[in-house]
Chain A
Amino acid sequence: MAILYAFLIIAGIGALLGLGLAIADKKLAIEKDEKLIALEQIMPGANCGGCGFAGCADYAAAVASQKAEPGLCAPGGKDLAEKMGKIMGIEVTVGEKKVAYIFCKGSCEKTKKDYDYRGLTDCNAASLLFRGDNGCKSGCLHLGSCMAVCDSNAIYKKEDGTLAVDRTKCIGCGKCTKVCPNGVIKLIEDRTQFVVACNSHDKGADVRKVCEVGCIGCKICQVKFPEAGFKVEDNLAVSSPVAPEDQAVQAMEACPRKVITRR
């Protein structure tokens, strides 16, 4: 009998308190801003932090309270920015969609090694030791720190050991650009067709010593094909996103180091 009372009393107290809390929850419910709810629903939910806020919910709150512009969300892109603008009732101008690109074609065969690195498979760890095992100190170390931070699995290893970005999967959050010790990965406009896949600002002779596929700053692309839009700055050619195709293809073929690449 006593055990029954014990059960009933504890269950009764529990039920009463539960009921009380349920009523309090209804009474004290917080009215969320309608705009905020709508914004949170259309967010991609990647929580990549590319917008500069702690996560999708944080960014939505910032936009709803007009502390941030719509259109900072790289994964959502243009569509999302327009939707957000509609909810907030403001015009939005959206930048070009950007994706990451690894500016290095060097592989084990094509780039000289200074030493044999055996240690943590982490680029930043390798970089502590004479700035990595590569002869070229601006190149990709191929240890895949960028793969590890990529939430959308957009970076993969090719057969020759070099890394590449899958432009369909990349959401442009820019995490990989921050983790790379050599800054080989940069965000480029997605419509860019031709890129100079090298990151070395070293002098031509020095690049030639350590890498078969590095830009030597010879300016052939810039001088011979002025309309292709290549520009050599500080011993490194940079492509333009709007290069006319035929000109760029000719420049690509003319490049002595075959460093100009079609994406």
Chain B
Amino acid sequence: MRIIAILLTYVFINNFILVKFLGLCPFIGVSKNSESAVGMGLAVTFVTGTASVVCWCIYHGLLEPFGLQYLQTIAFILVIAALVQLVEMVLKKMSPSLYKALGIFLPLITTNCAVLGIAIINIDESYNLIESFAAGIAAGIGFTMAIILMSNIREQLELKPVRKSFKGVPIAFISAGIMALAFMAFDNSLLTNLHLA
């Protein structure tokens, strides 16, 4: 039950992009077409999922027993950076075209606050290992959903008569704001109504 509640929380109620405003850089940067948006979403989901697990293990297995909780940020960043490098290598090998489309935004996942955010939230909320993994995957799915929705909106916007001063990134930010307003409809009452909380 708790797992489902966590999934719903990070996909809808606390959507990383539209509610928590984390990871906006790739959200705007890679949402121009839906194909690369899907790729970016999957890459981020992989990184948040694995980073959650590895960071949880490092925090509870290494840092906490030695009383080194203050090192969590640097340790987490280390893990995330290594994971992103791994994703980069895999993508380069499996799909060079996607690798080219993602461009600079792929290594930028390293500094994506969504990834560090979920690792730290897992610790703050004192989730166990399974819950951390669920939260990581859910955060990734939430990110993927938001970026795919955004990319579809932006593909439509390309064909619409938008004022020159609003063309491109400005209108994208305005759309993102309206999307965020829509996501405010999801709050904890979603969990209570489903008898999950």
- Does B79 contact A24, Cβ atoms closer than 8 Å? no
A90-126 vs B, Cβ < 8 Å mask (1 yes, 0 no): 0000000000000000000000000000000000000
Interface of A is mostly: helix
Tell me if B185 is interfacial: C-beta within 8 Å of chain A. no
- Does B90 contact A2, Cβ atoms closer than 8 Å? no
- Does B68 contact A9, Cβ atoms closer than 8 Å? yes
Nearest chain B CB to A146 CB, angstrom units? 33
Tell me if B92 is interfacial: C-beta within 8 Å of chain A. yes
Residues of A within 8 A of B89 (CB): 21, 24-25, 28
Tell me if B82 is interfacial: C-beta within 8 Å of chain A. yes
Known interface pairs A13-B75, A13-B79. Does A2 touch B66 (Cβ–Cβ under 8 Å)?
A: yes
A24–B92 Cα distance when bound, in Å, is 12
Contact of B62 among A9, A21, A24, A25 (CB under 8 A): A9
A127–B142 Cα distance when bound, in Å, is 55
- Does A9 contact B63, Cβ atoms closer than 8 Å? yes
Contact of A20 among B63, B74, B82 (CB under 8 A): B82
What is the number of residues of chain A that contact chain B, defined by CB distance less than 8 Å?
A: 15
- Does B78 contact A13, Cβ atoms closer than 8 Å? yes
- Does A2 contact B78, Cβ atoms closer than 8 Å? no
Contact of B86 among A2, A9, A24 (CB under 8 A): A24
Within 8 A of B (CB), among A145-165: none
Nearest chain B CB to A30 CB, angstrom units? 6
- Does A9 contact B93, Cβ atoms closer than 8 Å? no
Known interface pairs A6-B68, A28-B93. Does A13 touch B58 (Cβ–Cβ under 8 Å)?
A: yes
Tell me if B67 is interfacial: C-beta within 8 Å of chain A. yes
Known interface pairs A25-B89, A28-B89, A28-B93. Does A17 touch B79 (Cβ–Cβ under 8 Å)?
A: yes
A1-32 vs B, Cβ < 8 Å mask (1 yes, 0 no): 01001100110011001101100110010100
Within 8 A of A (CB), among B67-93: 67-68, 71, 74-75, 78-79, 81-82, 85-86, 89-90, 92-93
Nearest chain B CB to A46 CB, angstrom units? 24
11 A-B pairs besides A5-B68, A6-B68, A9-B68 with CB distance below 8 A are A2-B66, A6-B66, A9-B66, A10-B71, A14-B78, A17-B78, A20-B82, A20-B86, A28-B89, A28-B92, A28-B93
Q: Could you write out 9 A-B pairs with CB less than 8 Å apart?
A: A2-B67, A2-B68, A9-B66, A17-B82, A20-B86, A21-B86, A21-B89, A28-B90, A28-B92
The 7 closest A-B pairs by CB, nearest first: A17-B82, A28-B89, A28-B93, A5-B66, A6-B68, A9-B62, A21-B85
